[in-house]
């Protein structure tokens, strides 16, 4: 994605000059832009004021702009689009033979400097910047949070500043994309920041195993789209996919070693992507049950329920807690996903009659009014408590939160809202928001890429996400009407989710291609809260040009 790592300064310049020559030829022939024009100086980049330039126009290099021209620049074409751009008159910036990436190479931005330098074929240096350079620096007073950045192009140089290294890194992604889409950075100032804090991809490696190389390739694509989370669902009925020393008996033959996980996590740290582990329980534990059949949930008639453990048996909790303690150091990020969805004991008409052992355990632990639902909620709260003790912020799927019980789900568990289709017990998202809970959007109608399309699922399209979805649409296609409940402090963000229900339905290559535009569209919608500035056709053309 972006300029190839092997690109040299000379090759970059040759390509840009060629683009400029094409521009001049098209201009002489009277070719017109098809996606809009430029904006007046000093205005914000808005959907009504700016749209895509043709490849030829955006490829004009500074050397092709006559010195006497004073026309204001247009915003760079990137995915996601930049949120605020103040244009200025001038040739902009592009790397030349003497250009450098300037930063404190012993400081916190050393990795960011070396990465963008390698991508642009430049050398790095410390010290003062000069004309032609791209410089990176921390600026604690820049507003917008740790992922915000300012990119200023003036006087033949470009400078990225931000309050933290993550924001500066995202500024380098803008540089990389702007050079690829238009051949230069436009003169002016970009102030950019994300609309939502959590943005990313959910990957099921339990049902369909994906290699380290495949995962790392997706992470590099995600980073260029300014996405910051990769959630790994690595335990399910079909497999348990990470090496374990506490319970090696449950691990599938095809799995990631701990060293491979460390490799993935280390790449994530360089790309500012947090890797979030998920051990789903008390359902979806078929891999554990195969090694420990005594934990299998059975009803009063002896019928088994796939993947669900008997939570009245203390051994079930011990195994899950052992695994959480083992893996916590492996995943140094702030979150832990507890799963908690689809516990099959609660899908029957009368759980108390069907599972008298669970009903009795609920009464013993929580009093005479307690039901099976309360025992399940207590399981969730116990795992959430352990997650917090391990220094993690707990998450759980929305269908693990129940209303009206003796035991209430802990308030500080983030709700990952996905369900609503064919689920009689699914509570509408408005209930969670009115309870004061923080929610992450994984709307299964828009954001679920389920292999084989079982149960009425269809593969999501980038166009539908781009045109019809927003973070406020948590279920179905209707947004939450009360905007006071849908701001970035309440709906924290969104992820696209890949689920391997029918693992042979697509190859890893097909999956990568299938999620390409949906992931790009999601990145646009969670970064910039406004109406996308390009038409869908313009967006797809830009995605092709950028290689995302």
Per-residue pLDDT tens over the stretch 251-303: 999 999 999 999 999 999 999 999 999 999 999 999 999 999 999 999 999 99
Identify the pLDDT of residue 276: 98
Domain assignment present for residue 260? The answer is yes
Identify the pLDDT of residue 6: 31
**Confidence category of residue 61, pLDDT binned at 50, 70, 90:** very low
Same domain, 398 and 507: yes
**Confidence category of residue 142, pLDDT binned at 50, 70, 90:** confident
Domain assignment present for residue 526? The answer is yes
Least confident range of 63-72, 130-139, 397-406: 63-72
Contacts of 476 (CB under 8 A, 6+ apart): 420, 443, 445
Identify the pLDDT of residue 138: 97
Q: Which of 157, 192, 227 is the last residue of a domain?
A: 192
Same domain, 538 and 414: yes
Q: Which of 175, 192, 209 is the last residue of a domain?
A: 192
**Confidence category of residue 454, pLDDT binned at 50, 70, 90:** very high
Q: What are phi and psi of 415, to 5 degrees?
A: -90, 120
Within 13 Å, how many C-alpha atoms sit on residue 337's CB side? Answer: 25
Same domain, 378 and 518: yes
| Residues 406-434, mean pLDDT to the nearest whole number | 87
**Confidence category of residue 424, pLDDT binned at 50, 70, 90:** low
SS3 522: helix
Domain assignment present for residue 41? The answer is no
Identify the pLDDT of residue 71: 66
Which comes out higher in pLDDT, residue 69 or 201?
A: 201
Domain assignment present for residue 60? The answer is no
SS3 54: coil
Instruction: Work out the percent of the chain whose per-residue pLDDT is above 70.
Output: 86
Domain assignment present for residue 61? The answer is no
Same domain, 292 and 410: yes
Same domain, 114 and 241: no
Is 512 in contact with 218 (CB distance < 8 Å)? Answer: yes
Least confident range of 52-66, 206-220, 422-436: 52-66
Residue 146 CA to residue 135 CA, distance in Å, equals 18
Cα–Cα–Cα angle for 186, 190, 194, nearest 5°?
135
Helix%, strand%, coil% for the chain, nearest 5:
35, 20, 45
Same domain, 456 and 343: yes
Identify the pLDDT of residue 420: 64
| Residues 39-66, mean pLDDT to the nearest whole number | 35
SS3 432: helix
Domain assignment present for residue 512? The answer is yes
Least confident range of 53-62, 178-187, 412-421, 531-540: 53-62
Identify the pLDDT of residue 399: 93
pLDDT at position 12 over 50? no
Q: What is the CATH number of the domain that holds 468?
A: 3.20.20.80
List beta partners, residue 444: none
Residue 516 CA to residue 370 CA, distance in Å, equals 47
Same domain, 479 and 462: yes
Average pLDDT, the chain: 89
Which comes out higher in pLDDT, residue 10 or 467?
A: 467
Using omega within 30 degrees of 0 as the cis cutoff, is the peptide bond preceding 80 cis? yes
Angle formed by the axes of helices 508-527 and 212-224, nearest 10°: 30
Q: What is the CATH number of the domain that holds 130?
A: 3.30.379.10
Identify the pLDDT of residue 34: 35
Give the number of domains in the chain: 2
Which segments of 273-313 does DSSP mark as H helices, in order?
286-291
Identify the pLDDT of residue 421: 56
Same domain, 110 and 212: no
Residues designated as active site? 342
Same domain, 231 and 164: no
Identify the pLDDT of residue 30: 34
| Residues 38-60, mean pLDDT to the nearest whole number | 34
Domain assignment present for residue 15? The answer is no
Same domain, 161 and 260: no
Q: Which of 147, 167, 192 is the last residue of a domain?
A: 192
Which segments of 410-468 does DSSP mark as H helices, in order?
429-434, 462-468
pLDDT at position 16 over 50? no
pLDDT at position 63 over 60? no
pLDDT at position 398 over 60? yes
Same domain, 269 and 218: yes
Domain assignment present for residue 78? The answer is no
**Confidence category of residue 27, pLDDT binned at 50, 70, 90:** very low
Same domain, 276 and 327: yes
Identify the pLDDT of residue 425: 65
Instruction: Work out the percent of the chain whose per-residue pLDDT is above 90.
Output: 84
pLDDT at position 101 over 90? yes
- Beta strand 134-138 pairing with 393-397: unpaired
Burial of 44 (0-12, 13-18, 19+ CB in 10 A): middle
| 145-173 per-position pLDDT tens digit | 999 999 999 999 999 999 999 999 999 99
Least confident range of 331-335, 453-457, 539-543: 453-457
Least confident range of 20-29, 220-229, 483-492: 20-29
Count of other CB atoms within 10 angstroms of residue 390: 16
The pTM assigned to this predicted structure is 0.88
Q: Which domain holds residue 450?
A: 198-546
């Amino acid at each position: 994605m972006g300029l190839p790592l092997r690109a040299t300064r000379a090759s970059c310049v040759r390509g840009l000059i060629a683009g400029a020559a094409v521009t001049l030829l098209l201009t002489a022939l009277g070719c017109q832009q098809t996606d809009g024009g430029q904006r007046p100086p000093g205005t914000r980049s808005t959907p009504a004021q700016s749209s895509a330039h043709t490849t030829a126009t955006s490829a004009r290099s500074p050397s092709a702009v006559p010195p006497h021209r004073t026309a204001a620049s247009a915003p760079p074409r990137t995915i996601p689009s930049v949120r605020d751009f103040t244009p200025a008159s001038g040739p902009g910036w592009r790397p030349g033979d003497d250009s450098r990436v300037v930063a404190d190479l012993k400081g916190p931005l050393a990795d960011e400097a070396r990465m963008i330098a390698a991508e642009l074929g430049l050398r790095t240096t410390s010290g003062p910047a000069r004309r032609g350079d791209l410089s990176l620096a921390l600026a604690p007073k820049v507003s917008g949070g740790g992922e915000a950045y300012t990119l200023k192009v003036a006087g033949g140089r470009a400078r990225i500043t931000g309050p933290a290294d993550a924001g500066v890194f995202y500024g380098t992604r803008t540089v990389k994309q702007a050079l690829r889409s238009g051949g230069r950075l436009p003169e002016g100032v970009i102030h950019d920041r994300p609309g939502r804090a959590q943005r990313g991809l959910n990957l099921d490696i339990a049902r369909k195993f994906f290699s380290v190389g495949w995962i790392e390739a997706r992470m590099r694509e995600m980073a260029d789209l300014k996405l910051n989370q990769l959630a790994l669902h690595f335990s399910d009925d079909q497999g348990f996919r990470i090496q374990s020393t506490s319970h090696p008996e449950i691990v599938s033959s095809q799995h990631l070693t701990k060293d491979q996980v460390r490799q993935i996590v280390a790449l994530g740290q360089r790309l500012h992507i947090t890797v979030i582990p998920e051990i789903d329980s008390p359902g979806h534990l078929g891999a554990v049950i195969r090694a420990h059949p005594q934990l299998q949930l059975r009803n009063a008639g002896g019928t088994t329920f796939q993947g669900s453990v008997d939570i009245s048996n203390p051994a079930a909790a011990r195994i899950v807690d052992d695994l959480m303690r083992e893996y916590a150091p492996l995943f140094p990020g702030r979150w832990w996903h507890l799963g908690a969805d689809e516990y099959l004991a609660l899908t029957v008409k009368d759980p108390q009659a069907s599972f008298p052992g669970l009903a009795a355990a609920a009464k013993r632990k929580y009093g005479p009014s307690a039901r099976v639902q309360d025992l399940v909620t207590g399981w969730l709260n116990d795992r959430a408590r352990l997650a917090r003790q391990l220094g993690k912020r707990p998450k759980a799927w929305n269908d693990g939160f129940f209303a009206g019980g003796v035991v209430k789900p802990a308030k500080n568990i983030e709700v990952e809202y996905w369900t609503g289709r064919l689920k009689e017990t699914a509570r509408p998202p408005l209930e969670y928001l009115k309870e004061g809970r923080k929610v992450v959007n994984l709307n299964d109608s828009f954001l679920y890429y389920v292999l084989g399309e079982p149960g009425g699922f269809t593969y999501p399209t980038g166009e539908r996400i781009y045109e019809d979805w927003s973070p406020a649409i948590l279920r179905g296609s209707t947004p939450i009407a009360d905007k006071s409940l849908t701001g970035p402090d309440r709906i924290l963000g969104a992820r696209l989710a890949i689920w391997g229900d029918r693992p042979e339905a697509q190859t890893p290559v097909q999956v990568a291609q299938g999620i390409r535009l949906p992931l790009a569209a999601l990145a646009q919608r969670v970064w910039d809260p406004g109406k996308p500035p390009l038409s869908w056709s313009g967006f797809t053309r830009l995605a092709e040009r950028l290689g995302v």
